[in-house]
Structure 1
């Protein structure tokens, strides 16, 4: 009897370990695209500079969707909506996926603007980062607008404007670098470095790389950052 109980316990433990391992490497994604009654969704990742389809979902009557994807570590994915007869540039939603359960709620008419993505800490941090970066972008546009108006009025403010833009760029890089350092325990940190400030001073780059947690250093973007840093060191 005891042998039977031990055998059953062993099977239970093995099953639960298997389920735990599966959840660690699986993204379960659900969502709703209000207004989408017919079309197709594609979940994609960038692989060797090309978008590769991980899953395709046919929408026919219901605007809800679900998908399960193998995901070894957090990474940026795309949710692309094929609207069928209609077309729009507002059709590819970037989101920071991570193993576990995530949900995407949005609207077909304002696919990007109304997207609400939950279940990913990396996504939450990336949205915080983008909110601040958008303010830097708005300021950059204001400087460009000032220069165009000055040209129209036949005034030369190019030197002064260039200084302002250089100072703005430095502040933007400083913010991005500090954000990566502050959030070095998350995969969003190396991603931001690789996409936004890859040409930052190598000493600062080295500091950010060394600040990554072991888990982040072993992730997709952590490995890419360390590889990139090693290549930079060879060249300098």
Structure 2
């Protein structure tokens, strides 16, 4: 009898733990090697400002967990409070989606060492950034050349470099458009459209909009993109 009661208690305990684990639809785990004491914040953009939605105190153990309900896939930020300003070196963007995600990094190279797993949107966003970074590097090289040409008062060379910059920007816009169209079944598509090419010709925005699946169109960024396109059309038709 005693064994039966203990067995029943164990089953109920396991059920209780299982229910606790599934009470939130998003679970973020992670490890920041070298961090002994500090505060982490999970942030989201609200009205163009980063606001904290969860606070994690680190004391001794560099591992952390955050659980909350996520209404729609969303770009969130893991902010490390170093006692200085909210700079890029303190913030890791990650494309959160329902389920389990993991972030691994180090205290010394917080943004450079980061490895994020568990999100298909994040995986696609990483793929996108790898290509876009090439356009950014090309533009930085051209900026340096343009600066030197301006100092040397080589007007013709400055004009040539400016045309090259326009060409790089055009390639970036076309790549972003194609990326969004080819991944219309993921929320990263409307996100990059809004974040990277919001001022592109409306015909390209229309193409991206039509490529979104009904699920994505009803998501956080899908709705924002639909509203944005409607507002631009209204403004341009005045």
Alpha-carbon separation, structure 1, partners of 2:87 and 2:74: 25
Shift in Å, 1:47: 1.2
Tell me the number of residue pairs that the alignment of Structure 1 and Structure 2 aligns: 218
- Is the 8 Å Cα contact of residues 30 and 65 (structure 2) preserved in structure 1? yes
String of CA shifts for 1:111-150, please: whole Å, max 9, x gaps. Answer: 0000000000100111111111111011001111112222
Task: Sort the Cα spacing of 1:137 and 1:89 in 2 relative to 1 into closer, same or farther, 3 A.
Answer: closer
Identify the residue that residue 224 of structure 2 maps to in structure 1. 224
Note the 1:88-127 alignment, pairs <5 A. 90-127=89-126
Query: Which deviates further from its counterpart, 178-187 or 86-95?
Result: 86-95
Note the 1:50-89 alignment, pairs <5 A. 50-83=49-82
String of CA shifts for 1:132-173, please: whole Å, max 9, x gaps. Answer: 111101100111111222234443311111111111111110
Query: Which deviates further from its counterpart, 97-106 or 157-166?
Result: 157-166
TM-score (norm 2): 0.86
Identify the residue that residue 202 of structure 1 maps to in structure 2. 202
- Is the 8 Å Cα contact of residues 27 and 71 (structure 1) preserved in structure 2? yes
Note the 1:167-206 alignment, pairs <5 A. 167-206=167-206
> 3-state DSSP class of the match of 1:39?
strand
TM-score (norm 1): 0.86
Task: Sort the Cα spacing of 1:48 and 1:148 in 2 relative to 1 into closer, same or farther, 3 A.
Answer: closer
Unaligned regions of 5+ residues in structure 2, if any? 1-17
Alpha-carbon separation, structure 1, partners of 2:22 and 2:206: 33
CA RMSD of aligned residues (A): 2.3
Alpha-carbon separation, structure 1, partners of 2:234 and 2:77: 33
Shift in Å, 1:59: 0.3
Alpha-carbon separation, structure 1, partners of 2:217 and 2:24: 17
